[in-house]
Chains A and B, each alone.
Chain A
Amino acid sequence: MKRRNFVRGLLATPVAPAVVLGGQTAPPPTAPQQQPPPQPNTPARQVPRQPQNVPHLEVTGVDLVGEPAPKFFTALQFSTLRKLGGILVPPLKNNPGAIEAGAPEFLDFLISASPADRQLLYLSGLDQLQERSKDKFQKSFCDLDSQQADAILRPLLVARPWPQDLPSDPVQSFMAQVHEDLRTATMNSREWTLASEKSGHHFSRGFRTTGYYWAPIDPISEG
């Protein structure tokens, strides 16, 4: 019903003021009218029953009951990503680091669902780190000590005015992107939010961890 027709309808309908009703003696309750029990397959049985007082059940978040199963990166690539997470975003103060926040596992899922150019950036970037590690130290990136890892990573870091400004060099570009993604995945994690709440900081600086979420609005049914 259109809004103004609805309003007109309200105005046109005689309404007994509550105060008048309140002054009246309540009429005796009438006995409920007896209805014959519905017969099978009669129209009465086809009238749907309207549910009332439907309980709202508490449900559990999927991250609390299951562990992600990395599947996009190879085992070697994933070990490089985990190593990167531990180096770039370690646990500091009372906050979890990338490993504690499950950021590498989340990025395995995120990149698996990403467009091909983002996948390629990650795949070749992780392979490049491994290759440089082998060339320079003759061991896997995940086996490097902190000084050795620094010797490889520091030359790849570039100051940028905006997060979306990626360097033209593909490995530097990967480093900028993975650093940004690991930080976001960590600071948007449940573990980070709980740690922030515990320390009295409900909002993490620079990251949108809590806010108004718009659900799909009148979505088109594909059925």
Chain B
Amino acid sequence: MPIKKYDVLIVGSGHSGGMAANILTQKGISCLMLNAGPEADYEKDRTIKHAYELPYRGFNKPGRLPHVFQANEFNANQWVDEKEVPYTAPPDAPYNWVRVRLLGGRSLFWARQSFRLSDYEFKAAEIDGTGDSWPISLEDLAPFYSRVEKIFRVSGRKEGWPQFPDGDFVETTYPPDTETIKRVTEIANKRGVGVSKWRAALGKDGLASSINLLLPDALSTGKLDIVQNAIVREISVDKNTGLANGAHFVDRHSGREMHVKARAVVLAAGCLESTRLLLNSKIANSSGVMGHYLVDQMYGVSVVASVPEARDGKAAPGLMGGNAFIPRFRNLKKTEKRNFIKGYCVSINSGGSASPNFFPLYGAELQAKLDSYANSCVSGGIFGERVARYENHVRINDKVTDRWGIPVLHIEARDSENERNLTKDAADTLEEWFHEAGWEIICKTDRVNPPGYSIHEVGTCRMGNDPKKSVLNKWSQSHDVKNLFVVDGASFVTAGWQNPTMTILALSMRASEYLAEQMRTNSI
């Protein structure tokens, strides 16, 4: 039987791979998509159950997924099994690598927060006075953001703030702010801090994934084949040209080793899986930068206050409820002098209840407290930007392999003084605001979850103009291997405080159109 030949091999099926397939196939380019896991059947694989019907009463199987804090017994089977595909980290620097290998990847379960990066991130070196800037600016990416926002139907309120670039939003009507949200807004505004609303992808039919917004159109062209349960072991390279010519992969079920050929390779397996694949393939790393500058965002800082007049169910109508979103407001001016660079955004939610762990009480006394404080709380949490630093890196640990014999990643990422100072500022600021509002602080912490927890890991194949200091050029194309592209979050130079999905999608769209043009002109 003749083996089908493809123009482009795409590894991974999440947002970035889905976008690459969507763009390339609609330009007449034949694509093969290899996905490491199976397709989930929402009808067959998912049922409504009570916790008591599950083997561990909702606790999850002990010891399973110790680094996936988001896991519970209901959703445990959607995440990658850490025993099947392990990774290593130093004992003093735990890392939470949260993965999904189902068809559609993490696009099936993301929180849908949809932001553009701003030039505070793209031109970070100019703003921060240290570090590196991207080789592109917001102006370069803005047209692609617009197209992505239309596909994903992003809702949001336009503000005209440079650190919070507006997008092409679907028309959204917001209910009037409650008195507690107005109070926070007033206190923030008094300090020159702008308060806005969440920006979120509405998607279609309750889903904003590659499997419903990107891949169906690609399949309808007849130019895309998708293979599930195909775990790519290594990118193959033509010894004469040095170009990528396909990939070796292993069937997840049988362990059968296979090879596929293609004229170009697009990696979209997620930042760390794409990097692992390249490091195992020993290609595209003449800079020595590959695997370095791993960065994500800090989650966990939290301040919760109880509004006295809302306790014991006595909240007047219009007092509690609603939310607000405060984009980065620190270090926007070069004259601002703080003991940290970069910044954080704040999410404010009103109308929640107190957690039992807030109080050193038990039994009836605890329950009485919880009942009294029910629905009386205003909480503030942050997404804080970490600094991309060379020493935070991944490398191959060839002493440990996964179920299919593929060497695993060793991950080393630690926070610095900058991160600690930033989170302390965030917790102190929220406490000050809530205190000024006249509310009782019942929880305050500046402690953050381990790196990786945000599921926004980026940066290990950073883009740049200098091939000696970066892995990819400004088109997400390998400096070393011209027919190799990395279109997931690995190309980021800075993480920002923003959810990275819109940027990943826009970069993948831009890179795919560039690749299509290069193929049309036979430059690749």
Give residues in A with beta carbon < 8 Å to B. Answer: 2-4, 61, 63, 87-90, 92, 106, 110, 113-115, 118, 153-154, 157-165, 176, 179-181, 183-185, 188-190, 193, 205-218, 220-221
Contact = CB atoms under 8 A, between A and B. Distances in A.
A217 B447 CA distance: 35
Given A163-B355, A188-B57, A217-B38, A212 B63 contact: no
Contacts of A163: 355, 357
A214 B362 contact: no
B2 interface: no
Given A87-B363, A209-B58, A217-B102, 13 more contacts: A2-B225, A159-B358, A162-B445, A184-B59, A185-B57, A208-B72, A210-B50, A212-B47, A213-B47, A213-B49, A214-B76, A217-B37, A217-B78
Interface class of chain B by DSSP = loop
A190 B52 contact: yes
Contacts of A209: 50-52, 58
A210 B57 contact: no
Nearest to B367: A92
Interface string B55-93: 011110111000001001111111000000000000000
Nearest to B362: A88
Nearest to B374: A205
B46 interface: yes
A63 B52 contact: yes
Given A188-B52, A189-B57, A218 B38 contact: yes
B359 interface: yes
Nearest to B255: A220
B357 A89 contact: no
A125 B252 CA distance: 43
Contacts of B63: 114-115
A92 B365 CA distance: 11
A88 B75 CA distance: 29
Interface in B343-359: 353, 355-359
A90 B362 CA distance: 9
Contacts of A87: 362-363
B74 A213 contact: yes
A89 B367 CA distance: 9
Contacts of B56: 110, 113
Contact of A161 (B47, B253, B443): B443
Nearest to A218: B38
Contacts of A110: 56-57, 59, 62
A89 B363 contact: yes
B69 to A, nearest CB: 7
25 contacts: A63-B52, A90-B363, A113-B56, A113-B62, A114-B63, A154-B360, A165-B445, A181-B59, A183-B356, A184-B57, A185-B59, A188-B51, A188-B52, A193-B50, A206-B355, A210-B48, A211-B49, A211-B74, A212-B74, A213-B54, A214-B40, A214-B74, A215-B46, A217-B102, A220-B252
B430 to A, nearest CB: 12
A110 B72 CA distance: 14
Nearest 8 interchain pairs by C-beta: A218-B38, A161-B445, A157-B360, A188-B51, A114-B62, A190-B52, A213-B49, A188-B58
B46 A214 contact: yes
A2 to B, nearest CB: 7
Nearest to A161: B445
B219 interface: yes
A161 B77 contact: no
Contacts of B443: 159, 161
Nearest to B51: A188
B300 interface: yes
Contact of A157 (B50, B74, B222, B362): B362
B306 to A, nearest CB: 13
Contact of B229 (A106, A162, A210, A218): A218
B77 A221 contact: no
Contact of B74 (A89, A189, A190, A208): A208
B444 interface: yes
B51 A214 contact: no
Contacts of A212: 46-49, 74-75
A159 B359 contact: yes
A155 to B, nearest CB: 9
Contacts of B417: none
Contact of A214 (B61, B78, B302, B363): B78
B518 interface: no
B362 A208 contact: no
A109 to B, nearest CB: 9
Nearest to A175: B362
A143 to B, nearest CB: 19
A161 B304 CA distance: 9
B465 interface: no
Contacts of B356: 179-180, 183, 206
A189 B53 CA distance: 9
Contacts of B61: 113
Contacts of B302: 161-162
Contacts of A61: 52-53
Contacts of A218: 37-39, 229
Nearest to A112: B62
Contacts of A211: 48-49, 74
Nearest to A84: B362
A161 to B, nearest CB: 4
Nearest to A212: B46
A44 to B, nearest CB: 33
